[in-house]
Amino acid sequence: MDIRWWAVVVLAALPSLGTGGENPEAPPESWTPLWFLRFLVNAAGYASFMVPGYLLVQYFRRKNYLETGRGLCFPLVKACVFGNEPKASDEVPLSPRTEPAETTPTWQALKLLFCAVGLQVCERFTDSQFLVLMNRVLALIVAGVYCLLCKQPRHGAPMYRYSFASLSNVLSSWCQYEALKFVSFPTQVLAKASKVIPVMLMGKLVSRRSYEYWEYLTAGLISIGVSMFLLSSGPEPRSSPATTVSGLILLAGYIAFDSFTSNWQDALFAYKMSSVQMMFGVNFFSCLFTVGSLLEQGALLEGTRFMGRHSEFAAHALLLSVCSACGQLFIFYTIGQFGAAVFTIIMTLRQAFAILLSCLLYGHTITVVGGLGVAVVFAALLLRVYARGRLKQRGKKAVPVESPVQKV
């Protein structure tokens, strides 16, 4: 039986220390009617990088630059457009990740537990776009220094492929925080708890990954159980806006972009890269997008001057950036080892564990509906372990045993 899913069950006993920035306050109401206009402005800023880059990639591919190019720029163009893998192209789908044959279920369980603990402790916090830039710059530096000091696999992915994950990550964060002004607290909870199935559906589109029916069933049960627990036990904010059509559109955009981000990163691991190389590539383009947006809004210099005037702010921002870099190490390692669906399940359960720990520490009562929700989650996890074990045993029985050939 594959016991790595038992590590997810054990997570119920783990503390969750990174929930401080889970529900940031909404911006002033004077900005709320213009969300679509601001989205178009941000999209235009990102397009100022994406469109020229896309045209350059298509130009070099049409000119067959890999065969005819030469000169000082050839290594840079090759790394950014073609990569080092001869068969890695847009037309050839990436093969799914394969686990090493020598990996035992116990070792897999320990690795999953390690990833889950790291995701519980190191959580990203984004208070403003300038802080986001600091987080990404520090993460880029950490990943770059690590790649220089430690031996890494030969990088084969074209650099431009990282830009898709970076752009979807930026848009996902924007839609998430913008939606807080247009949806009620229960709607926020249901959206965050039901991300598992959209991630699995996006995986079929992005990486052509197939899932069993019982995986969809257990994912749905986990979403239902977490929603029951959060809605019955979670404290509702005093000022919770009513859910509007704009809020639902933004939530749909948040879930779609977030699902694409993790699945695209999961597909990129088919190039046999390390999680640190993935972290460097994604943060490199994230820095480009964020710097471009800040320059267009005129906020980059102002943020730098503010940090120079207030040394305490600089120290706090540096601490947040360190936590962000540590969290990204665990995020990319978890996706690379276990896939986007397992990562999303861990992050979904994290919300319930945070409230469960709060109830235990501060003596808050857990309602009957909340207790039933916890029972549904544990039942779904146990069902997932049982189904994986049966599937593995069935696969072993289906392998034919070759009879020895008798020599004459």
pLDDT value, residue 256: 93
pLDDT above 70: percentage of residues in the chain: 74
The vertex-283 CA angle with 280 and 286, nearest 5°, equals 155
pLDDT value, residue 19: 35
pLDDT value, residue 156: 82
Phi, psi of 350 (to 5 degrees): -60, -35
Determine whether 163 is exposed, middle or buried from the number of CB atoms within 10 Å of its CB (0-12, 13-18, 19+): buried
Average pLDDT over the chain reads 74
Between CA 131 and CA 15 the distance in angstroms is: 26
pTM, to two decimals: 0.71
Please say whether the beta carbons of 126 and 178 come within 8 A.
no
Phi, psi of 16 (to 5 degrees): -120, 110
pLDDT value, residue 403: 45
Between CA 110 and CA 113 the distance in angstroms is: 5
CB-based contacts of 216, cutoff 8 Å, min separation 6: 197, 200
Please say whether the beta carbons of 219 and 200 come within 8 A.
yes
Helical (H) or strand (E) element with 387: helix 368-398
Dihedral sign for Cα 15, 16, 18, 19, please.
Answer: negative
Between CA 358 and CA 173 the distance in angstroms is: 26
Note the pLDDT tens digit of each residue in 303-339: 778 778 877 877 877 887 888 788 888 888 888 888 7
Dihedral sign for Cα 278, 282, 285, 286, please.
Answer: negative
pLDDT value, residue 35: 78
With H, G, I as helix, E, B as strand and everything else as coil, classify residue 241. Answer: coil
Ranges in the chain, pLDDT < 70: 1-33, 85-106, 108-109, 111-112, 114-129, 233-241, 358, 362-364, 395-408
Strands in 44-153 per DSSP E: none
Q: How many helices (H) and strands (E) does the chain have?
A: 16, 0
Residue 206 in tokens: 């992005």
pLDDT value, residue 260: 93
Count CA within 13 A, CB hemisphere, residue 95: 7
Residue 73 in tokens: 């720029």
pLDDT value, residue 81: 85
With H, G, I as helix, E, B as strand and everything else as coil, classify residue 256. Answer: helix
